[in-house]
Chains A and B, each alone.
Chain A
Amino acid sequence: MDKIFTNRFERSLAKVTLKLQRLLFYKIAQKTLFMIFPFVLIGSFLRIIQVVILSKDGLIGTLLPSFEDNWFVNSIIGVTNNLSNLTLGFVSVLAAFGAAKYTAKHYKRDDQLAGLTSMISLLVISYIYSKTQPLIFHTNLLGMRGVLFAILLGMFVGLVFKTTSPKIPEIHKKNFTSNILQRTFISLRPIIIVLAIAALISALVNVAYYSHLPDEFMDSLATNYQSKNSGIELLKIIGITLYTIIMSFMGWSGPYSPLDMEKSDPNILDNLYYALTNHTAWGAPHEFTSNSLYHAFATFGGAGSTLALIIAIFIVSRDRDFQTVAKWTMIPSIFNINSGIMTGIPVMFNIVFLIPFILAPLVSLLIAAGAIYLHLMPPTVYPIPNGTPGPLIAFIGTNGSIQALFFSLVDIAISVYIYIPFVKLAEKLKKIDNLALEEGDNND
């Protein structure tokens, strides 16, 4: 095995990964991500339509005439919202199902019922007790943001099934359908326990509040400590960038949203006013803002510069799965919607990709900061339409600075270069331990 890896770093990273891949959490998380991938993919295409085409602030929407009162367009918007909310906006529920199913299967318990129980328990936890609307949920717990929580919940449900219900006897396996009633009663105890716990959590804990708490904290840090010193501002932006990237690696999204640029930060408004009065972005008072650094240079294709990963796969990968995923997720990634590639490769929780996922945006950001500091290019100051492709944000947000376009291209080239060795390594590891053909999944 040692022969495959070219250097010591690769070898040790491979060792760590292989060790991690043996963990139950890791296996379950990966299988679950594969399971939700098709829905995420469909959802990302719908989000393009939603955000880029139909929204007034979207890249293509701004080019189109206003259609506010057109019933036909409005019904298209309605249907897209519906489908996107129930695919991409609902993946955590599916993930809860998958994680519980795979955990229960691993311990040879009733996997269907475990999955269904877990699904319901997630909905119970995110239920909003409202007097006016009968069935509403905290939506942010059900979408991509909630995936980590859903997987952990699913595993917990699987473990409850393991500890409180007996194994499924062999006779039932052969003739499962005729014994549905018996099968139900075997699992009744864990179902009741799980639902009771979920109900208790939903009644006692303000889940939405706690799920926002870390972001709230980072947000107040970001907005309350605005320093005149640009060095401190830069450090702050790097800090929040790191936090955002690491959080998206775990299925959360941090304070910097990949789709919406910041429009209400006082520094950014200051810059915009300067640019509008002086008719140039050069010499804007705040060189380093989240728009001029993070949004313009560290989100090629979404958090973690995943568009660079797709390009890297096109250049070096020979693995058919990687190529298929790259092809399918390329278009959403152009519009900075990276949920597809996050679950399809998967990048999420995948320790091999953690390093480039952090490094590529960070290096790009530092190069951009250096270029702005040395006055080689102006900072990005103008608001841009939602879904503007990552490599074009700086160009359009500076109102067409060729220098900004040049540095975007340099940054994307470097990001691709950073991703390439890790794509190769991931391929080698995939050969050794092909997760898709894991035991336990074959008898489905």
Chain B
Amino acid sequence: MTNKKNFKYLVFLALFLVILGIPSYLWNKKSVKTMAGRYNSPMSPIIMIPGSSASANRFDALVKTVNSQYGERHSLLKLTVHTNDTITYSGSIRTGDTRPFIVVGFQNNKDGYDNIKKQARWFNIAFDQLKQRYRFNNFNAFGHSNGGLIWTYYLEHYFNDDTIDINQMLTVGSPYNFEEKNSNKRTQMLNDFIKYQDKLPSDLTYYSIAGTKLYTDDGIVPLGSVDAGKYIFEGVINHYTLITLTGDKAEHSDMISNSQFITLFHQYMIGNKNGQQQSTNKNSR
């Protein structure tokens, strides 16, 4: 029925499949063997913790701004850990999104060292669940205000860097010495942080942003308190950088809508390389 010429193409098609099939089958067989040791999804989330008295919705506007300003499409997953250790989820991670934002908020979001300890424990529960669910092996950390303290406490007491890597941490207005301006008067928390500093992951790169208005504080947190972070991190982790942000919207709570901050946030948390990768993936067909 069909002419010989077309038949030739069918044979070619079949041969082509066989020729491609054999090496890729052998390769996959080998790769499955190596994967049996360890396998991780390509996801590298940006995990964010809001400050005291803020909920998991704290960063909605930030994510929206980043997405529209950079033409990227990061999804947003929000977890709230309740006081009875249960977790509620809202939002979702789009399939194939390798750089999603994950916000972990707490039902008890009060200030104070005791609460921070509790929140770090709750965060650990959430983090384990996330790790189990999405199987990522590296992530970036972001904390606003007390969120940075929770991160630090978590890294010193719960984090195990044998199985998972923290690439970069960025915090905004994290008061390592609470409301204390004078770094000679160390609070209990700061002393504890310094005491356990050797538990911090040594390959961590950390950027701490402090906002100032009238040279001394951001309206709530004194510059000295943010700067006290150096006693914890300096010399222990890979890089510790303190950035001082001034000008419009440099107040404690406004800072995450400051355009300078958004540039820094994008640079350190997302990076340009990944943005490019995303856009080439988008029109794949």
Residues of A in contact with B (beta carbons under 8 Å apart): 47, 51, 59, 62-63, 81, 85, 88-89, 128, 130, 136, 138-140, 142-145, 206, 208-209, 212, 216, 219-220, 222-224, 253, 255, 257-260, 262-266, 269, 272-273, 276-277, 279, 290, 302, 311, 314-317, 323, 326-327, 330-331, 334, 337-339, 382, 384-385, 388-389, 391-392, 395-396, 399-400
Nearest B residue (CB) for A142: B283
Given contacts A89-B283, A264-B98, contact A314 B9 (CB under 8 A): yes
Question: Are A88 and B23 within 8 A (Cβ)?
Answer: no
Contacts of B133 in A (CB 8 A): 266, 269
Contacts of B71 in A (CB 8 A): 128, 130, 136, 138, 208
Q: Pick the 8 closest A-B CB pairs, nearest first.
A: A143-B283, A314-B6, A223-B92, A140-B282, A264-B41, A219-B94, A276-B36, A220-B92
Q: How far is the CB of B270 from chain A (nearest CB, A)?
A: 14
Question: Are B17 and A311 within 8 A (Cβ)?
Answer: no
Nearest A residue (CB) for B91: A220
Contacts of B20 in A (CB 8 A): 59, 334, 389, 392
Question: Are A330 and B13 within 8 A (Cβ)?
Answer: yes
Question: Are A269 and B285 within 8 A (Cβ)?
Answer: no
Question: Are A253 and B96 within 8 A (Cβ)?
Answer: no
What are 16 A-to-B residue pairs whose CB atoms are below 8 Å? A59-B20, A62-B27, A81-B280, A85-B280, A208-B71, A212-B73, A257-B284, A263-B41, A264-B42, A265-B95, A269-B41, A314-B13, A327-B9, A385-B24, A392-B21, A392-B25
Q: How far is the CB of B142 from chain A (nearest CB, A)?
A: 20
Nearest A residue (CB) for B41: A264
Contacts of A216 in B (CB 8 A): 94
Which one, B10, B73, B135, contacts A314 given CB within 8 A? B10
Contacts of B36 in A (CB 8 A): 276-277, 279
Contacts of B73 in A (CB 8 A): 212
- Consensus secondary structure, chain A interface: helix
Question: Are B24 and A392 within 8 A (Cβ)?
Answer: yes
Nearest A residue (CB) for B69: A130
Question: Are A399 and B29 within 8 A (Cβ)?
Answer: yes
Other A-B pairs, 9, CB within 8 Å; known A257-B96, A314-B7, A315-B6: A139-B280, A208-B71, A223-B93, A260-B281, A263-B41, A269-B134, A384-B28, A385-B27, A392-B24
B62 at the binding interface (Cβ < 8 Å): no
Nearest B residue (CB) for A259: B284
Question: Are A63 and B135 within 8 A (Cβ)?
Answer: no
- Consensus secondary structure, chain B interface: helix
Question: Are A139 and B279 within 8 A (Cβ)?
Answer: yes
B35 at the binding interface (Cβ < 8 Å): yes
Question: How far does the alpha carbon of A334 sit from the alpha carbon of B39 in the complex, in Å?
Answer: 28
Which one, A88, A219, A331, A334, contacts B92 given CB within 8 A? A219
Question: How far does the alpha carbon of A93 sit from the alpha carbon of B104 in the complex, in Å?
Answer: 42
Question: How far does the alpha carbon of A316 sit from the alpha carbon of B71 in the complex, in Å?
Answer: 47
Question: Are B285 and A143 within 8 A (Cβ)?
Answer: yes
B243 at the binding interface (Cβ < 8 Å): no
Contacts of B7 in A (CB 8 A): 314
Which one, B10, B28, B29, B42, contacts A311 given CB within 8 A? B10
